Homo-oligomer: A and B are copies of this chain.
């Protein structure tokens, strides 16, 4: 692993279901243009409220991928 160089980008995914689903949604969308994603780190967890209920979760993540 020691001859790799990683680049990290920051994404925010959202979901009506919860935190885990919001992260997966961000990864699914990013995978259309980013290859070789290896790890992520949650940097912020927020959400919107409609009628006193969590309408959707918004989770920001840093995602690391190898530069080929």
- Residue on B with the closest CB to A55? B2
A57 to chain B: which residues have CB within 8 Å?
20
Nearest CB of chain B from residue A18's CB, rounded to whole Å:
5
Q: Could you say how many copies of this chain the assembly holds? A: 12
Select which of B39, B54, B67 is within 8 A of A47 by beta carbon. Answer: B39
Evaluate contact between A30 and B5: CB separation under 8 angstroms.
yes
A16 to chain B: which residues have CB within 8 Å?
2
Select which of B8, B13, B52 is within 8 A of A60 by beta carbon. Answer: B8
A1 to chain B: which residues have CB within 8 Å?
14, 48, 56
Evaluate contact between B47 and A40: CB separation under 8 angstroms.
yes
Select which of B5, B8, B55, B56 is within 8 A of A29 by beta carbon. Answer: B5
